[in-house]
Amino acid sequence: MRLYELPPELKRSTKNPIKQLFYKGDLSLLQMPRVAIVGARKCTNYTKGVVLNLAASLRKHGICVVSGGAVGVDHFAHTGAFPATVGVFANGLDAVYPKQNEAMIRQIYANALALSEYEGEFLPRPWHFVERNRVVVALSEAVVIAQADEQSGSMASAKFALEMGVPLYVLPQRVGESDGTNRLLARGEAKLLFDFEEFALEFGDNKTPVWLNEPKDELLAAVKSGANLDELLARFGNAVFDYELDGKVEINGVNVRIL
């Protein structure tokens, strides 16, 4: 199905104008504040955990997460924010690509929103992913690059953000694991994102969620900060598993995220 009235934000992309979008899913998500989370296909477990927690925090503050439907960071951004998420694809929406993300993509088609410039069963060539990235950026009020090498598609997204005047953020990363985002930070082209609640309130509805008025939960605060399972067990012991049984957190390998 073709989206005839493009969101006005897409006019920011002037060098290669976005002329049309096809969609599947819930167009009402375009009425929400939107933040993009993008990054490496091969990301670390640390990045995975942080992205899941960040996306969940944004969802809880009424913010829709935009990403590119790829494996790695994109997948975890959509998962953490679901169903408040928009997937922008480099292929036509009658095709499912990449196949390893099929389950998630079909969930986006059914319960979130998928967008593409390309019709039918069109399959992408390498340059179409860069074209896709400019749509992700243009749709968003801010762009978070979670992890990226210096020569990567995510750095193309950073370039688009700088050209369009979209605020650019990166996550704390160790030297050698995300040289692209560390370079953006060193150049002053991106801000460091470390307080998820503060960030969400900046771009969300600015209504303090009920749980922020409750007594601070040290375990949940540690999860929000990106602590992995080993770190949580060392600090809180088996209480971590009690939180899982109570449905407060989800444990996936060494990664823990708030539900």
157-202 pLDDT, tens digit per residue, is: 999 999 999 999 999 999 899 999 999 999 999 999 989 989 999 9
For CA atoms 171, 172, 178, 183, the dihedral sign is positive
CA distances from 244 to 29, 82, 90, 182, 227 (A): 30, 19, 37, 34, 15
Instruction: Dump pLDDT digits (tens) for 115-162.
Output: 999 999 999 999 999 999 999 999 999 999 999 999 888 999 999 999
Instruction: Dump pLDDT digits (tens) for 35-90.
Output: 999 999 999 999 999 999 999 999 989 999 999 999 999 999 999 999 999 999 99
What are the structure tokens assigned to 107, written together?
């969930």
Contact 25, 108 (CB under 8 A): yes
- Report residue 215's pLDDT band, with 50, 70 and 90 as the boundaries: low
pLDDT of residue 214: 45
pLDDT of residue 210: 38
- Report residue 1's pLDDT band, with 50, 70 and 90 as the boundaries: confident
pLDDT of residue 242: 87
pLDDT of residue 15: 78
Return d(Cα 210, Cα 154) in angstroms, integer.
35
- Report residue 212's pLDDT band, with 50, 70 and 90 as the boundaries: very low
pLDDT of residue 211: 35
Contact 68, 124 (CB under 8 A): no
pLDDT of residue 190: 97
Return d(Cα 141, Cα 33) in angstroms, integer.
7
Return d(Cα 145, Cα 77) in angstroms, integer.
11
16 pLDDT more than 90: no
